[in-house]
Amino acid sequence: MPVNWQKVCDYQDIIFEKAEGIGKITINRPEVHNAFRPETLSELIDAFNRCREDPEIGVVILTGAGTKAFCSGGDQRVRGEGGYVDQTGVPRLNALDLQKVIKYLPKPVIAMVAGYAIGGGHVLHVLCDLTIAADNARFGQAGPRVGSFDAGWGATMLARIVGHKKAREIWYLCRQYTAQEAYEMGLVNKVVPLEQLEEETIKWAKELLEKSPTALRFLKAAFNADTDGLAGLQDLAGNATMLFYMTEEGKEGRNAFLEKRKPNFSKFPRLP
Ligand SMILES: CC(C)(COP(=O)(O)OP(=O)(O)OC[C@H]1O[C@@H](n2cnc3c(N)ncnc32)[C@H](O)[C@@H]1OP(=O)(O)O)[C@@H](O)C(=O)NCCC(=O)NCCSC(=O)CCC(=O)c1ccccc1C(=O)O
């Protein structure tokens, strides 16, 4: 059954739609294989933040317009000195800000990849929770060929996923890998014929929507905490605080303060 996507709001470089609990964000610059410029990244960050705020959305799909590319990374035409130059003349590296937003969105993000996922575009799919690839997908890094590198999550998360030897090969040699090769190295979750890509991705999204949102939220935070040191722990701990605020024990502390009495925590069990 096809999903009846409804546009959420207007953007210049992206399309943001939602339906049936799923947010779908599409990089819409097919003339440059969906390369991103600073404005694209600002819009993506805005759309992801809206997904975070929207209680109707439980899963987000990130994709690229057309069948030729998911995303080919930074738009080399606007690369200046010190970053990618926006329309006001300011050089930016705001792909890094988008990476944080995807990684810390407390909802699963699925990369739906047809065609090229290259350079900074490849890093985006690496940071998504899951990747569903069409059989025409091609994956790779391009930095050392074009005088760039992502020595943050772009390198280190990739190594966590495919292992150090393979990650070094991918980054140092800038080769491209087929969808099947990416599947075999654990870089994508499923490969399907191009014409089934959206149907299969929606199937995975709906399966996620049947699961406990709090369980998924904590699992995502735990996977982040494993790699992100104190920042990851801060996020995991924030989720724990959110849950604690929902308990009677948590509420007793607040109520006692507001009622100007001593809190009575004696009724709460000290479980083993
Ligand atoms: C993806 C290709 C291998 C596809 O090749 P092919 O099918 O032959 O198509 P083309 O004819 O090359 O491309 C069609 C059309 O698109 C234009 N185009 C493609 N990619 C880009 C791009 N990245 N920027 C600008 N334009 C692009 C291409 O010129 C064609 O247009 P015409 O008008 O027809 O000429 C191949 O396209 C390819 O290799 N593309 C470039 C890949 C690449 O080098 N990407 C950049 C890597 S570096 C990067 O992404 C860093 C950005 C980043 O995220 C980052 C990292 C670390 C810190 C901070 C940041 C940050 O904030 O940005």
- 96 touches ligand 1 (CB under 6 Å): yes
142 and 175 in a single domain? The answer is yes
Asked whether 110 and 61 are in contact (CB, 8 A), the reply is yes
92 and 218 in a single domain? The answer is no
135 and 243 in a single domain? The answer is no
Pocket test for ligand 1, best of 28, 32, 93 (most atoms within 8 A of CB): 32
User: Is residue 268 situated within a structural domain?
Assistant: no
Percentage with pLDDT > 90 across the chain: 99
User: Is residue 112 situated within a structural domain?
Assistant: yes
- 119 touches ligand 1 (CB under 6 Å): yes
218 forms bridges with which residues in the sheet?
A: none
The ipTM, to two decimals, is 0.97
Give the residue-averaged pLDDT of 15-30: 98
Percentage with pLDDT > 70 across the chain: 100
Q: How far apart are CA 38 and CA 85, in angstroms?
A: 7
Domain that includes residue 184, residue range: 6-209
The model's confidence at residue 1, banded by pLDDT at 50, 70 and 90, is confident
Q: How many domains does the chain have?
A: 2
- CATH number for the domain harbouring residue 252: 1.10.12.10
Asked whether 112 and 121 are in contact (CB, 8 A), the reply is no
Q: Tell me the CA distances in angstroms from 116 to 11, 24, 67, 98, 213, one per residue in order.
A: 23, 19, 9, 19, 31
User: Is residue 118 situated within a structural domain?
Assistant: yes
- CATH number for the domain harbouring residue 120: 3.90.226.10
Q: Is the pLDDT of residue 103 over 90?
A: yes
Residue nearest to atom 41 of ligand 1 (CA): 72
